[in-house]
């Protein structure tokens, strides 16, 4: 039976279904440094550069969406890269990489938008060294390996950098799926009127379900302006992931439905 979900902050709660993930969520959400870096990232991005939301709402959306995407590809028989390469000892730890990387992927914006992915990966090291022992209950080589996997995800969320793991791929694509109208509303209210803002405002809802391919993405939009978000924001992230062949995308407009990707079977 197909289950369609909406890309939203509410999606995260359904994936906090194990003691490890619940613990990680509690630790990261109560970590003062992490929360302040996310707040500062939003100040830099939204209020100083009039960019889209990069705050705690965006972070929660990315985390829940990434875990949803991961579940779909796991159902299709994919094995997490961290499990395959023995960085993680079980699926739960692979999901931990996705959860923590989602929370930390934009903290580099707290310094500057330019090179924020590389800066964010470096900033994350000390945070992870501090919180991972509490979450995992152990230190040592595996903790270091998981830390490096999370840092890879943050680094490779940059548009042109290839993901080298499944975990990285789902976080990077989830980041691109937070593209509906709510994400552009604050910059628009502050007076920013450009193609990014108008395109995002035309997208009303993004949904995910299992389709002919493991991941079916449905983008509901008022008009074709939303196409800009797909082509300029989402597709570069899909093309630099390891799972582009697992994805199909449909645009639903008031008068028609268009299969956007893949265009040719």
How confident is the model over 155-175, as pLDDT tens digits? Answer: 999 999 999 999 999 999 999
Cβ contacts of 213 within 8 Å, gap of 6 or more: 245, 246, 247, 248
Note the Cα 170 to chain centre separation in Å. 7
With beta carbons less than 8 A apart as the criterion, state whether 70 and 12 touch: no
Q: What is the mean pLDDT of residues 70-82?
A: 97
> Which CATH number covers residue 97?
1.10.1300
Kindly compute the dihedral angle of the four CA atoms of residues 145, 151, 153, 155, in this order, to the nearest 10 degrees. Answer: -140
Residue 212: its pLDDT value, please? Answer: 95
User: What pLDDT, in 10s, does the model give residues 254-264?
Assistant: 999 999 999 86
Residue 46: its pLDDT value, please? Answer: 82
Residue 228: its pLDDT value, please? Answer: 87
Residue 193: its pLDDT value, please? Answer: 57
pLDDT at 185 over 60: no
With beta carbons less than 8 A apart as the criterion, state whether 208 and 236 touch: no
pLDDT at 90 over 60: yes
- List C-alpha distances in Å: 98 to 17, 50, 142: 14, 28, 16
Q: Which domain holds residue 88?
A: 5-261
Q: What is the mean pLDDT of residues 36-50?
A: 89
pLDDT band for position 3 (cuts 50, 70, 90): confident
Residue 188: its pLDDT value, please? Answer: 44
User: What pLDDT, in 10s, does the model give residues 194-252?
Assistant: 666 677 788 899 999 999 999 999 999 999 988 988 998 899 999 999 999 999 999 99
pLDDT at 127 over 50: yes
Residue 172: its pLDDT value, please? Answer: 98
Beta pairing partners, 252: 220, 257
Residue 117: its pLDDT value, please? Answer: 96
Number of domains making up the chain? 1
Q: What is the mean pLDDT of residues 78-91?
A: 97
Does this model's pTM top 0.85? My answer is yes
pLDDT at 138 over 60: yes
Task: State whether residue 182 is helix, strand or coil.
Answer: helix
């Amino acid at each position: 039976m197909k289950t369609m979900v909406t890309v939203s902050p509410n999606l995260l709660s359904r994936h906090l279904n194990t003691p490890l993930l619940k613990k990680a969520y509690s630790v990261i959400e109560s970590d003062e440094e992490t929360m302040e870096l996310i707040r500062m990232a939003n100040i830099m991005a939204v209020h100083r550069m009039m960019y889209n939301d990069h705050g705690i709402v965006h972070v929660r959306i990315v985390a829940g969406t990434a875990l949803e995407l991961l579940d779909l590809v796991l159902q299709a028989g994919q094995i997490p890269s961290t499990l395959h390469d023995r960085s993680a000892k079980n699926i739960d730890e692979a999901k931990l990489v996705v959860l923590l990387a989602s929370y930390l992927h934009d903290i580099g914006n707290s310094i500057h938008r330019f090179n924020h992915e590389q800066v964010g990966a470096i900033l994350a090291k000390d945070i992870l060294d501090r919180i991972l022992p509490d979450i995992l209950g152990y230190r040592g080589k595996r903790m270091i390996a998981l830390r490096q996997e999370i840092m890879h995800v943050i680094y490779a969320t940059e548009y042109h950098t290839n993901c080298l793991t499944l975990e990285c791929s789902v976080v990077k694509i989830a980041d691109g799926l937070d593209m509906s109208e709510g994400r552009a509303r604050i910059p628009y209210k502050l007076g920013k009127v450009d193609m990014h803002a108008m395109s995002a405002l035309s997208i009303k809802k993004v949904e995910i379900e299992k389709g002919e391919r493991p991941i079916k993405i449905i983008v509901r939009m008022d008009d074709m302006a939303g196409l800009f978000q797909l082509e300029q924001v989402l597709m570069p992230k899909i093309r630099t992931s390891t799972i582009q062949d697992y994805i199909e995308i449909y645009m639903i407009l008031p008068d028609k439905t268009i299969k956007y990707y893949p265009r040719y079977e």
